[in-house]
Amino acid sequence: MSFATKNIRNIVLLGHSGSGKTTFAETMLFESGEISRRGTVEAGNTASDYTPIEHERGNSIFSSLLHVNWRGNKINIIDTPGLDDFVGEIVSSLKVADTAVMVINSVSGVEVGTELIWEHINDLETPTIFAINQLDHEKANYDQSLEQLQNRFGPKVIPIQYPLNIGSEFNTIVDALRMTMYVFPPEGGKPEKVAIPESEINRAQEMHNMLVEAAAENDEELMEKFFDEGSLTEEELAQGLTIALANHEIYPVFCVSSVNNMGSGRLMGFLNDIAPSPADRPPAKLVGGGSLKPDSEANPVLFIYKTISEPQIGNVSYFKVYSGTVRNGAEFVNSKNDNSERINQLFVANGKNRDSVDELVAGDLGVTVKLKDSHTNNTLYTKGDSKGIVPIKFPEPKMRVAVVPPSKNDMEKLTKALHVMREEDPTLIFEQSKELKQMLLHAQGQLHLDITRYRIEQVFGVSMEFTEPRIPYRETITKVANDSYRHKKQTGGAGQFAEVHMRIEPYYEGMPDPAGLSVRNTSVEDLPWGGNLAFYWCIVGGSIDAKFSNAIKKGVMNKMQEGPLTGSYCRDIRVCIYDGKMHPVDSNDMAFQLAGQMVFKHAFEQAGPKLMEPIYELSILCDDEVMGDIMGDLQTRRAMIMGMSAEGHYQKITAKVPLAELYKYSSTLRSLSQGKAKFSRKFIEYAQVPPDIQQKLVQAHKEELQEA
Closest by CA position to 454, among listed 59, 154, 57, 147: 57
d(CA 538, CA 536): 6
CATH superfamily of 399-467: Elongation Factor G (Translational Gtpase), domain 3 (3.30.70.870)
Which option is the CATH number for 475-608: 3.20.20.80, 2.40.100.10, 3.30.230.10, 3.40.1190.20? 3.30.230.10
Q: State the span(s) of the chain assigned CATH 3.30.70.240.
A: 612-693
Q: Which class is domain 5-196+250-280?
A: alpha beta
On the CB side of 474, CA atoms within 13 Å amount to: 21
Q: Give the separation between CA 414 and CA 439, rounded to whole angstroms.
A: 11
Res 544: pLDDT: 95
pLDDT at residue number 1 = 66
- Supply the pLDDT for residue 405: 84
Quick one: pLDDT at residue 148? 94
Contact between 546 and 537 (Cβ < 8 Å): yes
Exposure of 279 by Cβ count < 10 A (0-12 exposed, 13-18 middle, 19+ buried)? middle
Which residue intervals of the chain bear CATH 3.30.70.870? 399-467
CA distance 497 to 337: 51
- Tell me how far CA of residue 690 lies from CA of 56, 610, 618, 636, in angstroms: 46, 9, 20, 14
Give residue 708's pLDDT: 63
Q: What is the DSSP letter of 389?
A: B
Coil, strand or helix at 579 = strand
Q: Where in the chain is the domain with CATH 2.40.30.10?
A: 284-381
Report which of 110, 209, 100 is spatially closest to residue 151, judged by C-alpha positions.
Answer: 110
Q: Do 648 and 151 meet the contact criterion of CB atoms below 8 Å apart?
A: yes
Tell me, what DSSP letter sits at residue 316?
Answer: E
pLDDT in tens, 209-260: 898 888 888 777 777 776 767 677 778 788 889 989 998 899 999 999 999 9
State which residues of the chain have pLDDT below 50: none
Instruction: Give 680's contacts (C-beta < 8 A, 6+ positions apart).
Output: 395, 396, 398, 618, 619
pLDDT given for residue 493 in this prediction: 66
Q: CB–CB of 255/103 below 8 Å?
A: no
Question: In angstroms, rounded to a whole number, what is the distance separating the alpha carbons of residues 569 and 565?
Answer: 10
For the entire predicted model, the pTM comes to: 0.88
CATH 3.30.230.10 occupies which residues in the chain?
Answer: 475-608
pLDDT of the residue at 28:
95
Q: With beta carbons less than 8 A apart as the criterion, state whether 599 and 578 touch.
A: no
Question: What is the distance between the alpha carbons of residues 434 and 124, in angstroms, rounded to a whole number?
Answer: 37
Q: Which CATH architecture has domain 612-693?
A: 2-Layer Sandwich (3.30)
* Alpha carbons 506 and 514: distance in angstroms, whole number: 11
pLDDT (tens digit per residue) in 690-706: 999 999 999 999 988 88
Looking at residue 492, its pLDDT comes to 65
Separate counts of helices (H) and strands (E) for the chain: 16, 38
Contact 529/436 with Cβ under 8 angstroms?
Answer: no
Residues in the chain: 708
Alpha-carbon distance values, 82 to 7, 305, 451 (Å) = 29, 18, 15
CATH of region 284-381: 2.40.30.10
Distance CA 575, CA 556 (A): 9
Cβ-Cβ contacts under 8 Å for 326 (sequence gap 6 or more): 300, 302, 343, 346, 359, 360, 361, 366
Three-class SS state of 484 = strand
